Each structure stands twice: as C-alpha cells, then as structure tokens.
Amino acid sequence: MLVSTLLPTLVTLLSFALPAAASSHSGRVGHARHANVDKRGVSFSAPHYSLYLDDTISYSSWPAASTVTPYNRVLLAFWQTNGAQASAGSWSGFTDTQRSAILTDYHNAGIAVMVSAFGDDDLVITNQKDPVTTAQNLATFVKTYSLDGVDIDMEDFTPLENNQTYALSWLTSFHNELRSQLASGTYAISSTPTAWMYGSVFGSASSVYCQLNGAVGSTIDWYNFQFYNGQSGTWDTCEHVMWSSTNTAFLSLQEISNECSIPMSKITVGQLWDSSDLATAVPAEVVTGTELGTCLAQAKSQISYPETGVMVWAAHMDNWSGAITYLTEAIAAMGSTTVATSAASSGASASTGSAATVAGTAAASGATVASSTDSVTSAGASVSGASASGASAGSSAGSSGSTKGSTTGAASAANASSSTSTSGALRTLPAGLAVAGAVVVAMVL
C-alpha cells in the first residue's frame, strides 16, 4: 500500500531530476528552442547569407566554420532525384560521427547546413515525377543526414512557361508535402528562383512562381532571387536590380515584391561573385562585393529594403577566399550594425562601411582586397580606387566598362580551374527571352 502510494510521486520527481535523452547526433542537442531557432540552436531569422558549395569534398578538406563566416547558410549542391551530387554527395558519404563534428562546429558559429535540390538539369516537372514522393524522398535525405533544411532551386523552365497549370499544381503539392515532412521552426525551407521567372515572358502576376507564393508562400521561410544571367542591359545597375527595371521580362526586386505580394523581408539578393564561374555570364551584372553592399545600403534608404540578406553562387575549394571576401566587402560597404554581428563571429569588424574596414575585414578572413583607399562613387558604379590596385576583373569584365579591384581580378583568374562541380553545360533560356541581340543563358544552379 505504501509503495503503491509513493511510486507515482517518485516517478514524477525522477522525471525532473534526470536529463532528457540525447539525440543520436551530438551536434543536435543541448540548445533551448524558441521562435525562429531550430532544435540545434541555429537561428532561421534574417539576415540570411547563403553560400552554395558546388564541389566534391573529402572530410579532411571540409571547410571549418571559421573559414565560412560571415555566411550563415551553406547550401550543398545538389540533391537530385537520381542521387546526391557534388557536395551533397560528399555529405551523404561521411560517417555519422564526421557529420556530427562538422555540424557542431557550424552550429556553434550560427551556420545552418542545408541541401539544395534539383538545379539546372533535374527536370522533375517536365518528366512528371510524382511531387509527393519527390518531397518525401528529399525530406528523408534531410533527416537521415542531419541537415538543417532544404533549398529549392527549380529551373525546369519549359513547363513554368508553357504548361503553367500543371507546373503550379506540381509545385503546390510538392511544397505542401515537403513542409508537412519538415516542420516549421525545426527545419528551414528556402526557394531560389531565377528572377526572370516572375517577368512578362512567364506571365508576370499570373506566372507560376507569383501564384505559388499565394498558394504555399507560408511554407517558404525566405527566397533567394537570382539577379544575374539576364539580358544585356538588365540587372546592370542598382536601380534595375532593386527597384525599377527597364524591361518587363527582367523585373526588379521591389517590382516582384509588389506584383506577387512577397514581403521584401523574405527576399535576399542573389549574386554571381565571379564571372568566370559561368562561361556565358553577363559581365555588367557581376559586381564587386563593395558595389553590392553600397547598392543594398542605397536600397535601404530608397525603398526601405530591410537587411534580408545575400545569396552567392558559388564557393569552390580551389578559390575559397574569393567568395568569403565578396560577402565581407558587401557587409562592410553596407555599414550595418545588424549584419556586422555575423562578420564579427570571424573576428572581423564590419560596422563602419569604410574602405579601410573592407580591407581589415577581408584580411581577418585570410583574404586580400584592393587598395584600402578605394571608394565607391555611386551604387552600381565602379570602384574609383581600383586602378591603384593595379588589377581589373579580367577581359570579360573590362569589356563591360566595369573596373574591379585586385581581389576580384585574381579570383576570376584563379577560379577558371578544374574544381569538381555539377555545373555542366549551360542551356539557353526559353525562346521568349532569347530576343534579338540579347545575351541570355540559363543558370547552372
């Protein structure tokens, strides 16, 4: 009688005294949960600084978190329906212990590790892959390999332009199932559309991706808009990228935000940091990190653009510092105390936006930049002191009249190498975008 009376009390006391059971992955425990922070302690709140990793990498060569900051999102390219490729394939080949060690390092630095799905050549809509099964398989990959979330890089352009009812239905089913499998607040889901998928060729307000935001926008935590690989004369100035385009096929960020009711607080600015990474890149659209940061600072004043973040394509192991320097310069040029927090985690200061700070911040990450006396004359303009550094961004950038500092020039030359990636051959865009005299190519993402 005494035992039966006391036993419930003892069980209750023990439940408070004993520690909670640990996860099988040591990198995923020990963090209190609260809004916008997953169970591993990684914040999913803005700013989002996303870096695509597009190499096959051994465990011993995997970059330490200290060499990744100020980025706070690493996107492994790519998961595809025929198997994981490049860095995603590398990740799935590691042991649980190895992945746990990387995750602990990254999570302690506030960096989420996500996998990016599909890319340029996984035509899941065209091939009528089952959307629910596809979402389930992708979610299983995320959970099996202890990832923090998934990025959707959909570039199946033909049905998005010509079979829109089916494409919208496919994507709606896919995203709803994906979110049901990957709970909000525990896993992040981002979407990385090419910005011209919202333009007039694809239907503007009636485009698939504009309608998709109304259908499943609540399941997507943020968007990374790709503002590169457009027609010549588009996305080549800060104004054209951020608030006013001169071509309805290549809308600006604010125009897409207004047209599709996507809050600017959910849209990051996607940039190609090195024109040599895409064989047919439009040089005028490839700006330096300093130019990008200056533009974002101007957009904050001009259209109240919040500090949502930046997406950068892409990091390669043979020229790692170039991609890191790019964002470091951008943060410094923004002069933002909010984003300086991310940079500070790498031991760098990025609070003033001065040219000297750009140099100091990049140096802290082990990279070099152009002369610290450089100054930006206007948003989207050339860096006035770049000639003092004795380098330009190479012949392709030079042909556009855009002069760049020594870091970008050296990086462009160094990155034209043999790193293993999933890029492959570039495809031309849908016929509606291939207007006379245009330089228009598809993303390799």
Q: Is residue 115 part of a domain?
A: yes
- Let me know: does 289 contact 273? Beta carbons within 8 Å: yes
- Return d(Cα 131, Cα 275) in angstroms, integer: 34
The residue whose two tokens read 């607040």 is 185
What pLDDT is stored for residue 37 in this prediction? 52
Output the CA angle 110-195-384, nearest 5 degrees.
75
Map 305-370 to HEC letters.
CCCCEEEEEEECHHHHHHHHHHHHHHHHHHCCHHHHHHHHCCCCCCCCCCHHHHHHHHHHCCCCCC
Q: Is residue 88 part of a domain?
A: yes
What pLDDT is stored for residue 336 in this prediction? 55
| Helical residues (DSSP H) of 389-439, grouped into ranges | 395-398, 406-415
The residue whose two tokens read 């890149």 is 281
Q: Is residue 245 part of a domain?
A: yes
Q: Is residue 427 part of a domain?
A: yes
Domain containing residue 427: 24-433
Q: Is residue 277 part of a domain?
A: yes
What pLDDT is stored for residue 55 in this prediction? 96
Q: Which residues, in sequence order, are bridge partners of residue 222?
A: 190
Give 327's contacts (C-beta < 8 A, 6+ positions apart): 49, 51, 70, 71, 289, 310, 312
What pLDDT is stored for residue 59 in this prediction? 98
What pLDDT is stored for residue 151 in this prediction? 99
Handedness of CA 32, 33, 34, 39 (dihedral sign): positive
What pLDDT is stored for residue 278 in this prediction? 72
What pLDDT is stored for residue 39 in this prediction? 54
Q: Is residue 255 part of a domain?
A: yes
How many domains is the chain partitioned into structurally?
Answer: 1
The token pair at 368 is 């070099």
| CATH number of the structural domain spanning residue 103 | 3.20.20.80
What pLDDT is stored for residue 276 in this prediction? 85
What pLDDT is stored for residue 202 in this prediction? 98
The token pair at 305 is 């653009």
What pLDDT is stored for residue 229 in this prediction? 83
- Stretches in the chain below the pLDDT threshold 70: 1-40, 279-280, 336-445
β-pairing, 112-119 with 149-154? Answer: parallel
> DSSP secondary-structure letter at 276?
G
What pLDDT is stored for residue 284 in this prediction? 84
